[in-house]
Amino acid sequence: MSLIFESYRPGFRDLFTAAPAQQLPDRIAITACTWHRGLQRLILASGQGTITQLHPDGTQQFLCCCGEALRCLNADCVDRLVYTKGSSARIDRSYTDGTGMVTIAVGFEDQPFAQLTNISIHSNGMLYFADCRTDDTSAVYFANPIGLVALKAGADVIAPQAVCVSTDQRYVYIADPAQRFVTKFQIASNGTLEFKQLCCYLGDDADQLQIVTMLPGEDGTLYVVTSRDIRVYDCDGMALGRIVFDAGITAACLGGKALDKLYLFQGSTLQALTLSVPGSAFVR
């Protein structure tokens, strides 16, 4: 995996230390990943529906098979896995071995979800996610962790591709390339979103981006991971620089025992970047 660092501000390159890329033993393409705080391991989901954990020595341990490719993988407040799978636009939850599976959300009112983006989880257990549709009904939703019907969060969006709860758990960031910005909304006491602010300019090529995920740093840094680069912004929304890749990114997450690793996958190839500033203490 080849990396090119483009600095917009002094010191940007010093924020990252790149380890050599490694090939996963089973050579199966990874479609989603998350850091499991209980196991202190990277959990990987493949296009073949398998869930494995990656050990420090680089070996993979099989956990379960869901039968369909998993997407939007995350771990909730008690380290259960939350995900969508296959062509299904519903959110399921299970333990790492696949047991205890329940469906949390399937749609809003009588409208099933169409294309769910990544799932971001608040420290209170609330799930925030977006349904990015081809018509004009795209919306951001939140769902109670016990599986109540999902509710519209109230955000003004066009085609949201990623959502992210802020480090201080007070805001939700929404990457909406159609608006060319990452916007920031305050989380109201009832879980809805209010007080829209333009936060980070995605660039003149925003409408061509395929955003994989957004990840928060402990100091307010925001990492916008697209299929071809990472765009890094400070706490004020100023662009610090970007990291360009030679091939498409298929999955990404923050993790590591010190929460100082940014894990990136290009199919079955893993690239780990060590961050000079750790990720959010509540990595979801």
* pLDDT tens by residue, 21-33: 999 988 889 999 9
For 21, 188, 198, 207, 221, the CA distances from 185, given in Å and listed in that order, are 36, 9, 9, 21, 16
Confidence class for position 34, pLDDT limits 50, 70, 90? very high
Instruction: Note the pLDDT tens digit of each residue in 83-124.
Output: 887 666 788 889 988 899 888 888 888 888 888 888 999 988
- Taking residues 2-23, what's their average pLDDT? 91
Query: Does the pLDDT at position 271 exceed 70?
Result: yes
**What confidence tier does 17 reach under pLDDT thresholds 50, 70, 90?**
very high
Task: Supply the mean pLDDT for the chain.
Answer: 87
pLDDT tens track for 61-86: 999 888 777 888 999 888 899 988 76
Model confidence at 133, pLDDT cuts 50, 70, 90, reads confident
Q: How far is the C-alpha of 32 from the C-alpha of 36, rounded, in Å?
A: 13
Beta bridge partners of 279: 217
Q: What predicted TM-score, i.e. pTM, was given to this entire model?
A: 0.91
Q: Give the pLDDT score at 280.
A: 63
Exposure pattern of 194-228 as b/e (b: 16+ CB <10 Å)? eeeeebbebbeebeebebbbbbbbbebbbbbbbeb
240-260 residue pLDDT tens: 999 999 888 999 999 998 889
Q: How far, in Å, CA of 132 to CA of 225, rounded? A: 17
